Structure 1
Amino acid sequence: MSNNNTVNTAKAPRKPVVLMSMGSQERKGHDYQVMTHKYIVPLVEISGCVPLLAPTCCGIDDLEQYLDMVDGVYLTGAGSNIDPSLYGQENLTPGKSQDRDRDLFDLPLIRAAIARGLPIFGICRGMQEINVALGGDMHQKVYAEPGFDDHREDTDEPVEVQYAQSHAVRLVPDSWLAKLMGSEEIHVNSLHGQGIKTLGKGLEALAYAEDGLVEAFHAPALPQFTFAVQWHPEWRAASNPDSVKIFQAFGEACRQRAAQGAR
């Protein structure tokens, strides 16, 4: 019999699964668990991964089961700040929203993911969470700290302007990130009022803003990919070569983890 009409039933290679923890948002008197579209798209289209969205409103009883299902962890930005009591400070920004459910889910999530050797990628709030989970602390108001610039966006501007490149970032010479970018300086957007004060245990800066604020770090002593940035590479990532390199690197780390078959 001719094979001309034979259907090709070969399965495509399995993609890595990546946990994304959602956050709280109130809408018209109802509490929502949300994840912004702009974070999901580059994970799917550039990293080549499948997102698993985890609600943070139900505690951590099922945390290990979530981690059993994934090959990496992706911690995104959000409009809320981390509760400062979790890093030993009084709240200096009472007018800013918090999301304690996300705090109490993500901090143990980070520690558990590290213990399992899972790749971790953090953006903005996600970077700050990794820092706090490992014992670091924050400048709650970078813009009020002597010697530091105001890294906040102008909320009166269109979103395209808010997320436009606004300052240079100096990459540590000969570092992993400098080699990945092929440069010791890149330009990034800036939409944050808080920033790293003291790095957590085992973390090492990879990039600094022009005022000296830590803009990226990794954990060189850990065997897995552990990387975070203060800027927003997810914004229109496909048209930004630097963002593409970052999301590709994370995707490759997750593929390597998936290939180990160690969940």
Structure 2
Amino acid sequence: MSNISSNSSKPSTRKPVVLMSMGAQERAGHEYQVMTKKYMRPLVEHAGCVPVLAPTCFGIDDLKLYLSMVDGVYLTGAGSNIDPSLYGQENLTPEKTQDQDRDHFDLPLIHAALAMGLPLFGICRGMQEFNVALGGDMHQKLYTIPGMREHREDYSASVAQQYADVHQVRMVPDTWFAKLMQQEEIPVNSLHGQGIKTLGKGLQALAHAEDGLIEAVHLPEQQQFTLGVQWHPEWQAAQNPFSIRMFQAFGDACRQTVAQKLNR
């Protein structure tokens, strides 16, 4: 089924509410739960949704309560890697930060959101969580695999340089995502050292990098909007027509969810 929502839905009387799970960060000896503004801005400005931030440090007892209050789920990137034990591997990057509270919140969150028919959009770590939740696994060190390009950012460069477009992704032809992007290839940024190795159950690729790495996925058998992308469309989204289309499509799907709830 197409993941692009129909325009036939009745107008809703409220903005969609979207759940965003937060991440752990330590500052000056204090433990924080955080969310970066750059992820929230396009959700508000282009998707037309209201973000609700869920702390991941208190477990999943209230997960269904959170989901009962929202019309979509948006899983963002983060500086941490997913615990490799969750996909049956030893940790090959012990120097990298982990956030096991987020892992143990987001993976059940994905299953619950899918079961409830909620639209789901994942970026970078969020796409990787999507894959791991459905039984897929990861390349932990893309940069050591022959034939793979360097997908990591240059930490010595400015933020603008780190988020600059550095390679193309090619759409899988004749998919809803290719139609949404309106062209066969689009330029993207690249700020990740890990990537999908084996797709999770039911996931299909929507786009690939020039080296063959899977860069976008969806669940075609699910009726609701599902999309995960490996790059960062949230970065200066207002200046990127492809990013705007993605966030608008997600927002439209969430508005459709609102309309369905109001029509019950």
Unaligned runs of 5+ in 1: 1-11
Helix, strand or coil at the partner of 2:148:
coil
| Map of 2:189 onto structure 1 | 189
Counterpart AA for 2:73: V
How far the C-alpha of 1:145 sits from its partner, in A, is 1.2
Q: Would you say 1:215 and 2:215 are equivalent positions? A: yes
Q: Which residue of 2 aligns with 1:114?
A: 114
CA distance, structure 1, for counterparts of residue 259 and residue 17 of structure 2 = 12
- Partner in structure 1 of residue 60 of structure 2: 60
Equivalent position of 2:8 in the other structure: none
Q: Could you tell me which residue of structure 1 aligns to residue 84 of structure 2?
A: 84
Alpha-carbon separation, structure 2, partners of 1:158 and 1:240: 19
Measured after TM superposition, the shift of residue 257 of structure 1 is: 0.5
| Runs of 4+, deviation exceeding 2 Å | none
1:36-51 mapped onto 2 (5 Å cutoff): 36-51=36-51
CA distance in 2, matches of 1:177, 1:188: 15
Aligned to 1:28: 28
SS at match of 1:130: helix
Query: C-alpha distance in 2, partners of 1:117/1:202?
Result: 15
Mapped partners of 1:174, 1:187: distance in 2 = 19
Larger RCO: Structure 1 or Structure 2 (Cα < 8 Å, ≥ 6 residues apart)? 2
Matched residue SS, 2:118 = coil
Query: Secondary structure of the residue that 2:42 maps to in structure 1?
Result: helix
Give 2:244's aligned residue: 244
Larger-Rg structure: 1
User: Given the alignment of the two structures, is residue 140 of structure 1 paired with residue 140 of structure 2, yes or no?
Assistant: yes
**Paired residue secondary structure (1:261):** helix
How many residue pairs get aligned? The number is: 252
CA distance in 1, matches of 2:182, 2:59: 42
1:254 aligns with 2:258: no
- 1:60-82 residue CA offsets vs partner (Å, 9 max, x unmatched): 00000000000000000000000
What amino acid maps onto 2:163 in structure 1? Answer: Y
Gap regions ≥5 residues in structure 2:
1-11
CA distance in 2, matches of 1:145, 1:117: 37
Aligned residue number for residue 98 of structure 2: 98
Cα displacement string for residues 223-244 of structure 1 (whole angstroms, at most 9, x for unaligned residues): 1001010000000001100000
**What do residues 202-221 of structure 1 show as CA deviations (whole Å, max 9, x unaligned)?**
00000000000000011000
Residue type matched to 1:45 in 2? E
- Aligned-pair identity in percent equals 74
- Relative to the length of structure 2, the TM-score reads 0.94
SS in 2 for 1:245: helix
Q: Equivalents in 2 of 1:260, 1:50: separation in Å?
A: 18
Q: Which residue of 2 aligns with 1:164?
A: 164
CA displacement 1:169-190 (0-9 Å, x = unmatched): 0101111111001101000000
Q: In structure 1, what residue type is equivalent to 2:209?
A: A
SS state at 2:147 partner:
coil
For 1:254 and 1:184, the matched residues in 2 are separated by: 26
SS state of the match for residue 111, structure 2? helix
